[in-house]
Amino acid sequence: MIVHHDSELDCLTLQLGERFDFSIHRDFHDACLGSGKPARSYVIDLGEVTGMDSSALGMLLLLREHAGADRADIRIVNASGELRGTLRVAGFDKLFVLH
Amino acid sequence: MSFTHAPLFRSQPVGWIASVVALLLALAWHPAWLAPLLVVALTLAWAVPARPAAPPIAQTVAGARAEPVREALDDVRSALVDELGHATRELHQGLDLLRDAVSELGGGFDGLSSKTALQQSLLRQIIEVQDGDVSVQDFAARTGDLLEHFVGMIVQMSRESLRIVYRIDGMAKEMDAVFGLLRNVNTIAEETNLLALNAAIEAARAGESGRGFAVVAGEIRNLASNSNQLNEQIGGHVERARSAMEQLRGLIGAMASQDLNVALSAKGGIDAMTAHVTESDARTSAVADQAVEINRGLGSDVSTTIRSLQFEDILSQLISQTRTRLTELQEVTTECTRDIEELACAPLEADALEERAQRVRSRLAIQREKARLRSRGPALQNTMDAGEIELF
């Protein structure tokens, strides 16, 4: 997982690896759920992700809570068709901006 | 000449007598006004009996051959009357057959009609059921909703599990801190032990005066050792607690990591099923509509056919009219042949002969008039749609 913070825009970009599941929960926590002020906006790049389980969705929900719930600006980009299908079944198309 | 004169004289006696009387009167009495009167009287006397002058010839000719003519006419009459009687009976039989056949056909078509109606009502029921409240589409939609709810629940559970895992991680950090502190405590104990050892050595060097101090140093060493043991026990407990937490973390992590592919493929299956059911619903209802249409057509065909069976009435009317004609023809034949027979054979007076001939003519005229009246008489339905009759 590659984390990049654009300090000018206060935008945190997470570029995830092949697997987006429980195995990276610690990294995810350290990257964006830790103590401290949340960023103004987040970009979650799923371009390389091939496997995703429910904990990934749980992490995204926690991030949304952390970033201010309804005020959160989180964009999920480069998701494959299958991943988009999963996100839609879970109703994430109403909670996040899917590109 | 004698052949023509003799009958002439015989047949016109009034004329001859009138002529003789006129001659005598003219000779005996001759005023001028008598002449026109005599001419008129003579003309009348000749003219009146002149008309029936023809028949006697036939009478004379026929008289000689009366018997064979009578026989021949009898034969003709009986043959005609028999033949007409047969024809009448055959017509009657035909009519009976026709009635039976038509009534059976009518029964058959009535049955067909009622069955068609039943079929139609069944089809309508099917269509109504299809349009009813609980459709397969609804079912699929509800299943889809349920699945989304289920996926939502799993995701919520994952979120909460992750929250717990993050809490456990926080607690693990606290435990690590406790371990660090315990290590410090251990160091202190070891240093205390070292200190006590040094104190014991110094007490031994002091000799008898340091004996008490040596006891204290021993106690301190014991305390340090006890503290060390306690430390180790605490460390063991904390270590066990840590490994238990690690286990818990694994369990909760497993709970958080649910495979969503099952739900996803189920969702795909439901979508495919919904599409399939929608398509098959549409097809079924189209086919049912078509079947209803065909059934309606069948019903109307059957009722047209039943209506067409009314041709029996028309045919019956026609046949009974024909039978009447035949019966009348029988009577006419009988009467006319009898009259002709008499005309031909009986030695009748000229007037009587004329009268018979007139009777035959008028009888035939009456018959013709009857036929004419009948042909344009009471409404005889003599047209039916050709297409409908083709059914038979």
Instruction: Give the ipTM of the model, two decimals please.
Output: 0.90
Instruction: Supply the pLDDT for residue B386.
Output: 39
- Chain A interface includes B266 (CB < 8 A): no
Q: Answer yes or no: do A54 and B257 touch at CB < 8 A.
A: yes
- Chain A interface includes B154 (CB < 8 A): yes
Q: Which residues of A touch B148 (CB under 8 A)?
A: 89-91
Query: How many angstroms separate the CA atoms of B15 and B9, rounded?
Result: 9
Instruction: Supply the pLDDT for residue B167.
Output: 92
SS3 readout for chain B: CHHHHHHHHHHCHHHHHHHHHHHHHHHHCCCCCHHHHHHHHHHHHHHHHHHHHCCHHHHHHHHHHHHHHHHHHHHHHHHHHHHHHHHHHHHHHHHHHHHHHHHHHHHHHHHHHHHHHHHHHHHHHHHHHHCCCCCHHHHHHHHHHHHHHHHHHHHHHHHHHHHHHHHHHHHHHHHHHHHHHHHHHHHHHHHHHHHHHHHHHHHHHHHHHHHHHHHHHHHHHHHHHHHHHHHHHHHHHHHHHHHHHHHHHHHHHHHHCCCCHHHHHHHHHHHHHHHHHHHHHHHHHHHHHHHHHHHHHHHHHHHHHHHHCCHHHHHHHHHHHHHHHHHHHHHHHHHHHHHHHHHHHCCCCHHHHHHHHHHHHHHHHHHHHHHHHHHCCCCCCCCCCHHHHCCC
Q: Which residues of A touch B152 (CB under 8 A)?
A: 90-91
Q: Which residues of A touch B173 (CB under 8 A)?
A: none
- Among candidates B192, B188, B181, which has minimal Cα distance to B234? B181
Q: Answer yes or no: do B257 and A82 touch at CB < 8 A.
A: no
Instruction: Supply the pLDDT for residue A88.
Output: 84
Quickly state the pLDDT bin for A76 (edges 50, 70, 90): very high
Q: Answer yes or no: do B155 and A25 touch at CB < 8 A.
A: no
Q: Most A CBs within 10 Å: which of B252, B257, B258, B262, as the mutation test of the A interface?
A: B257
Query: How many angstroms separate the CA atoms of B166 and A33, rounded?
Result: 10
Mean pLDDT per segment of 10 residues, for chain B of length 392 residues?
A: 44 72 74 72 71 50 67 84 88 88 88 87 80 69 84 90 92 90 90 90 87 88 89 90 91 87 79 83 85 86 84 83 85 83 75 82 85 66 43 36
Query: How many angstroms separate the CA atoms of B328 and B367, rounded?
Result: 8
What does the block give as tokens for A97?
A: 């901006």
Query: How many angstroms separate the CA atoms of B64 and B57, rounded?
Result: 12
Nearest CA in chain A to B259: A53
Instruction: Supply the pLDDT for residue B2.
Output: 38
Instruction: Supply the pLDDT for residue A6.
Output: 86
User: Could you read off the pLDDT of B166-213 as tens digits, one per residue?
Assistant: 999 999 999 899 889 988 988 998 998 899 899 889 888 888 888 888
Structural domains of chain A, with CATH: 1-96 (3.30.750.24)
Task: Scan residues 158-197 of B and list those with Cβ closer than 8 Å to A.
Answer: 158-163, 165-166, 169
Q: Most A CBs within 10 Å: which of B155, B249, B271, as the mutation test of the A interface?
A: B155
Q: Answer yes or no: do A22 and B257 touch at CB < 8 A.
A: yes
Instruction: Supply the pLDDT for residue B158.
Output: 92
Q: Answer yes or no: do A55 and B259 touch at CB < 8 A.
A: no
What does the block give as tokens for B249?
A: 């973390």
Distance from CA of B239 to the nearest CA of A (A): 21
Instruction: Supply the pLDDT for residue A63.
Output: 92
Q: Answer yes or no: do B158 and A54 touch at CB < 8 A.
A: yes
Q: Which residues of B touch A29 (CB under 8 A)?
A: 166, 169
Q: Most B CBs within 10 Å: which of A55, A60, A83, as the mutation test of the B interface?
A: A55
Instruction: Supply the pLDDT for residue B387.
Output: 38
> Does residue A14 register a pLDDT over 70?
yes
- Asked whether the whole model's pTM tops 0.80, one would answer no
